[in-house]
Amino acid sequence: MVRRRNPPNAGCLALPGGKIEPGESLQEAAVRELREETGVEAVPREVITAIDVLSHDAHGELLSHYVVIVVRLVWRSGVAAADDDATEVVWLDLEGLDAAGNDVSGTAAAVARRVLREHVEEEAALR
């Protein structure tokens, strides 16, 4: 995860990511955002999930609606170091994720928990 420098989630740990550039594929955007924020090169795999993020004002009026699409990436090269919109790179296992508590954005925590549990189950099945 990265600690966000800018909104949304400024100061919180979240998954690397950002906007898709015009003409860029979803997979290309995921790889680019990871590289820009962490210096890590990766190979894109499948979409893990898509999440609606809605923001409302005090009167309940919709201010914005984003769709966060999480893509599984496999490390290819590079040493993680915060850059661009990130002030810190943090590697968390399930225990670390739980210990981080509200320091991790809610959406990122839910997705990370799911992915980490699946990984633990896959590892156990291989034994």
Name the residues annotated as catalytic: 88
Residue the block writes with tokens 């995860």: 1
Please return the burial class of 71, using the count of CB atoms within 10 Å of its CB with bins 0-12, 13-18 and 19+.
buried
C-alpha span between 88 and 28 (Å, rounded): 23
Please return the burial class of 74, using the count of CB atoms within 10 Å of its CB with bins 0-12, 13-18 and 19+.
exposed
Q: How far is CA 102 from CA 12, 44, 61, 81, in A?
A: 8, 29, 26, 23
Structure tokens that stand for 39 in this block: 């210096």
Structure tokens that stand for 23 in this block: 């003409």
> What is the identity of the amino acid at 68?
V
